[in-house]
Chains A and B, each alone.
Chain A
Amino acid sequence: MSDTTLIGGIAGRMPKFLRRADPAVVTAFACIVLLLLVGSLYSRSFLSPEYLLQQLKVASFLGVIATGMMLVILLGQIDLSVPWSVAVGAMMACAAAAYGPLGSVLAIPFGIVCGIAIGVVNGIGVAYLRIPSMIITLATNAVAQGLMVVYTGGFSPQDSATPAMRYLATGFAIPAVPNAVIIWALIGAAMVFLLTRTGFGRAVYGIGNRERAAYLSGIDTRRVVMVAFAVSGGLSAFGGVLLAGYASKAAQSMGDAYLLPSIAAVVLGGTSILGGRGSYLGTVAGVILITLLQSILSVMQMPEAGRQIVYGVVIVVMLLLYGRAPASR
């Protein structure tokens, strides 16, 4: 308990709105501002609205994927099947598009349903068969990869995205605001509602904190875990659908670049990797932070190898910066 009183003491000297916020979320937002300031020293255009909106648009793909990841991490689990859930969503949606007008209409739901199917397998494995999530999700990722290689013959599929997918990813329903950003906002709002206002959300936090206590409180913990993995799979696939719309087509290993960033975004946003603690606002901050970091490193024209090193080191440093969360057990 001494950790709690220490934090209480520091928090006591902060303004009220800061005191109520999670210190990790505040740190993440502070880092975003810092990155923008550093970037603006390099080039004035870093503070231009066009650049910021562009970054927000790029961030929304990661944002959609990280939303599902956050739900799973809140349970104290992890979903490593993200890379190929993304690719499956993208490829299956494009594949459906090749089957005439009806296929075009069903392309997006079909892609998402395929992702949910992967998530359900993960969920059954973790919740009912008690396989560690790290193993089962890695396994389903490999299976999904294999299935896609069989389907495409190892080449990038020739089917292209439907107009609807392109519109969702690149269009503008509201002038100046990319559709992808609106979609992320809607999904985010739904997740906030789910986590804060529903019994399911409470159960997720409860299980993440103390699965035994949640179970003994009469929560059907296995169902909650399974639904969370299904949602994660579905959102990963939806992220893939959007990415396919953005690039006009699906590609092999298009999801590989989203595994570490989605986990890092959630954790940088203050969600405990052990589960049970974290807010969606933090995940938003984490997603933006990671997107900005990637953008600034590429604008600085750092070679790829250097970018990877800096990127990894920054994530480690930031996690250290937050300090290990005080254990309340």
Chain B
Amino acid sequence: MDGAVPLFSMQGISKRYGGVRALEKAELSVTAGSIHAILGENGAGKSTLIKVMAGVVAPDEGRMLLDGSEVSFASPAAANRAGIVCIFQELSLIPELSVADNIVISDPPKRFGLIDRKAQRRIAEEALARAGASDIHPLALVKDLPLSRRQMVEIAKALARKPRILILDEATSALTATDVAKIFGVLKRLREEGLALLYISHRMNEIAELADQCTVFRNGRNVASYAAGSKSDSEVVELMIGREYSHIFPPKPARHGAAVPVLEARNLCWTDRLDNVSLTVGAGEVVGLGGLDGQGQRELLLAFFGVLRGLAGEILVDGKAVSIASPSAARDGRIGMALIPEDRKTEGLMLPMTVRENLSFAALDRLSKAGVIDRATEQRLIDDMVELLAIKTAGLDIPVGALSGGNQQKVVIAKWLMRQPRIVLLNDPTRGIDVGTKQELYQLMRKLADAGAAILFYSTDYDELIGCCDRVLVLYDGAVKRELVGAEITEHALIASALNIHGEGAGPLQGEGA
């Protein structure tokens, strides 16, 4: 810190969501006129930290000091007034309005209670010029701008609020290399102007180019702060991992030769989210999908399940090309596919409906004769599933929403196991559930594979990929960048390939140039 008085500091900030702790006594201090990078794995607490700073969530404990005096923000507007402005990952622009409208949307200049369009345009022009995007016309509609231009408008919008601290959360993830270079120029100029910038990115090369100061987060704590350039890539990755293993994973069986392929994809492409993905999952295999969050893993699972329209490429089941037009085609007996979706509350379950109705919902066609549900068969299958998965519920006729998160997830899995699927796609199934239930799910997954199922498993938790998978495919920008087999699956390799650092991470940085 070179003895400089921090502009803003956070001390002992903690935040819990239910039983999950997102931040645990986290500390951070930001100095004016510098760019501070924050690093960490998925779920390390970075996003929560920013949300606390920007007034989106209130911390459970801890203090925040601005210019040495304690502050607390009741809302994002309060944080804005104090000079803290955040550019979030998702674009927050309204497509149907003009650029100028969007820039001043939270506090438009007024005359006689009506919006002063001249003043509005002037403010927008100033802000755009400051963001280095004076080529954008303030009266253009946002929906007519390409994504990279919109990101510039987003930055201009933040600057129009006259921030002292500007937070960029993955602000460059949607941009091309030239746009990134342009934005970097703007950020460096803002630094000269005395702003404090907080920069969050998964792209190591960007951080190396831009940051003055780095802080690494892990498990909701800041584990290290260092001046940029003082640590090697490999050391940074170590800092980001540095976690104990617990032996909660079932042993993997030894492999003898290649498994019989059950599910195959050839050159799958979908809009700009999937880029020529080819993969094979064999009978009895657990194949993991790794990489940073949002690199196309979810879209890939949905593509297999027949949800995406306009998918290019081929899907093969048992070596034969199939066309899967909808989930009902995917679950059909000949394909026998099941998808455990990403969000159990909106995609997996009908929360107000009973446990019974939810459990048999995906298998109703099998339980019915001429459309009428055979209640005896339904009861028998439900009892089997409740026993097999040890679902803890006060009864079958209570709303499934009353169950704990882990048991809800078991219901989602049970409803698909009732169809005895041959291909199981899992989309981050252990998110937000307790360790005990996680362990049961790992064992179940291995049991299904041993019984001959082909399993494709996406997880944001690297430990799980290491502990459960026979092979892991690492995705980056919608494409498979690397395949790790058996002993190659280490946390180091996973993180290095997720960040798309070539080699084993020990060598010098080679940016892939976005």
A residues near B, CB below 8 A? 1, 4, 197-200, 202-203, 205-206, 209-210, 212-220, 276-277, 328-329
Q: Bin chain B's interface residue count.
A: 20 to 34
Interface-centre pick from A215, A218, A277 (highest chain B CB count, 10 A): A218
Determine if A218 and B330 form an interchain contact, defined as CB atoms under 8 angstroms apart. Answer: yes
Task: Give chain B residues whose Cβ lies under 8 Å from the Cβ of A4.
Answer: 399, 401-402
Closest residue of B by beta carbon distance from A4: B402
Query: In the complex, which of the residues A200, A218, A276 contacts B350, with contact meaning CB atoms closer than 8 Å?
Result: A276
Q: A198-B372, A217-B362 are in contact. Are A329 and B353 (CB under 8 A)?
A: no
Determine if A202 and B399 form an interchain contact, defined as CB atoms under 8 angstroms apart. Answer: no
Determine if B347 and A216 form an interchain contact, defined as CB atoms under 8 angstroms apart. Answer: yes
Query: In the complex, which of the residues A202, A212, A219, A277 contacts B347, with contact meaning CB atoms closer than 8 Å?
Result: A212
List 3 tightest A-B contacts by C-beta distance, closest first.
A209-B350, A199-B364, A218-B331
Task: Give chain A residues whose Cβ lies under 8 Å from the Cβ of B362.
Answer: 217-218
Closest residue of A by beta carbon distance from B416: A217
Task: Give chain B residues whose Cβ lies under 8 Å from the Cβ of A202.
Answer: 357, 360-361, 364, 373
Determine if B349 and A213 form an interchain contact, defined as CB atoms under 8 angstroms apart. Answer: yes
Task: Give chain A residues whose Cβ lies under 8 Å from the Cβ of B357.
Answer: 202, 205-206
B residues near A, CB below 8 A? 305, 307, 326-328, 330-331, 339, 341, 345-353, 357, 360-362, 364-365, 367-368, 371-373, 375, 399, 401-402, 415
**Distance to closest chain B CB from A225 (angstroms):** 14
Task: Give chain B residues whose Cβ lies under 8 Å from the Cβ of A205.
Answer: 350, 353, 357
Q: Helix, strand, loop or mixed for chain A's interface?
A: helix
Query: In the complex, which of the residues A1, A206, A216, A328 contacts B327, with contact meaning CB atoms closer than 8 Å?
Result: A216
The contact sample of 7 A-B pairs, CB cut-off 8 A, is: A4-B401, A202-B361, A205-B353, A213-B350, A216-B339, A219-B328, A328-B399
Query: In the complex, which of the residues B305, B328, B341, B360 contacts A220, with contact meaning CB atoms closer than 8 Å?
Result: B328
Task: Give chain A residues whose Cβ lies under 8 Å from the Cβ of B375.
Answer: 197
Q: A4-B402, A218-B328, A220-B328 are in contact. Are A199 and B351 (CB under 8 A)?
A: no
**Distance to closest chain A CB from B509 (angstroms):** 41
Query: In the complex, which of the residues B345, B352, B373, B415 contacts A199, with contact meaning CB atoms closer than 8 Å?
Result: B373
Determine if A198 and B349 form an interchain contact, defined as CB atoms under 8 angstroms apart. Answer: no
Determine if A216 and B352 form an interchain contact, defined as CB atoms under 8 angstroms apart. Answer: no
Query: In the complex, which of the residues A1, A198, A206, A276 contacts B361, with contact meaning CB atoms closer than 8 Å?
Result: A206
| Cα of A136 to Cα of B364 in the assembled complex, Å | 31
Task: Give chain B residues whose Cβ lies under 8 Å from the Cβ of A210.
Answer: 346-347, 349-351
**Distance to closest chain B CB from A81 (angstroms):** 26
Q: A199-B373, A205-B357 are in contact. Are A277 and B327 (CB under 8 A)?
A: no
Closest residue of B by beta carbon distance from A207: B350
| Cα of A210 to Cα of B401 in the assembled complex, Å | 13
| Cα of A198 to Cα of B350 in the assembled complex, Å | 17
**Distance to closest chain A CB from B86 (angstroms):** 27
Determine if B371 and A218 form an interchain contact, defined as CB atoms under 8 angstroms apart. Answer: no
**Distance to closest chain B CB from A82 (angstroms):** 26
Query: In the complex, which of the residues B326, B327, B331, B353 contacts A209, with contact meaning CB atoms closer than 8 Å?
Result: B353
Determine if A215 and B353 form an interchain contact, defined as CB atoms under 8 angstroms apart. Answer: no
| Cα of A217 to Cα of B366 in the assembled complex, Å | 13
Task: Give chain A residues whose Cβ lies under 8 Å from the Cβ of B349.
Answer: 210, 213
| Cα of A2 to Cα of B333 in the assembled complex, Å | 42
Q: A213-B349, A219-B361 are in contact. List 11 more A-B contacts (CB 8 A).
A: A199-B371, A206-B357, A206-B361, A209-B353, A213-B348, A215-B326, A216-B327, A276-B352, A328-B351, A328-B399, A329-B345
Task: Give chain A residues whose Cβ lies under 8 Å from the Cβ of B364.
Answer: 199, 202-203
Query: In the complex, which of the residues B330, B352, B361, B368 contacts A328, with contact meaning CB atoms closer than 8 Å?
Result: B352
**Distance to closest chain A CB from B324 (angstroms):** 11
Task: Give chain B residues whose Cβ lies under 8 Å from the Cβ of A206.
Answer: 350, 353, 357, 361
Q: A4-B399, A210-B351 are in contact. Are A217 and B346 (CB under 8 A)?
A: no
Task: Give chain A residues whose Cβ lies under 8 Å from the Cβ of B360.
Answer: 202
Task: Give chain B residues whose Cβ lies under 8 Å from the Cβ of A214.
Answer: 350, 361
Task: Give chain A residues whose Cβ lies under 8 Å from the Cβ of B365.
Answer: 199
Closest residue of A by beta carbon distance from B366: A199
Task: Give chain A residues whose Cβ lies under 8 Å from the Cβ of B305.
Answer: 216
Q: A197-B373, A198-B368 are in contact. Are A213 and B328 (CB under 8 A)?
A: no
Task: Give chain B residues whose Cβ lies under 8 Å from the Cβ of A212.
Answer: 346-347
**Distance to closest chain A CB from B504 (angstroms):** 39
Q: A1-B401, A1-B402 are in contact. Are A217 and B351 (CB under 8 A)?
A: no
Interface-centre pick from A1, A198, A277 (highest chain B CB count, 10 A): A198
Closest residue of A by beta carbon distance from B375: A197
| Cα of A276 to Cα of B401 in the assembled complex, Å | 14
| Cα of A205 to Cα of B361 in the assembled complex, Å | 11
Determine if B339 and A328 form an interchain contact, defined as CB atoms under 8 angstroms apart. Answer: no
**Distance to closest chain A CB from B500 (angstroms):** 31
**Distance to closest chain B CB from A106 (angstroms):** 27
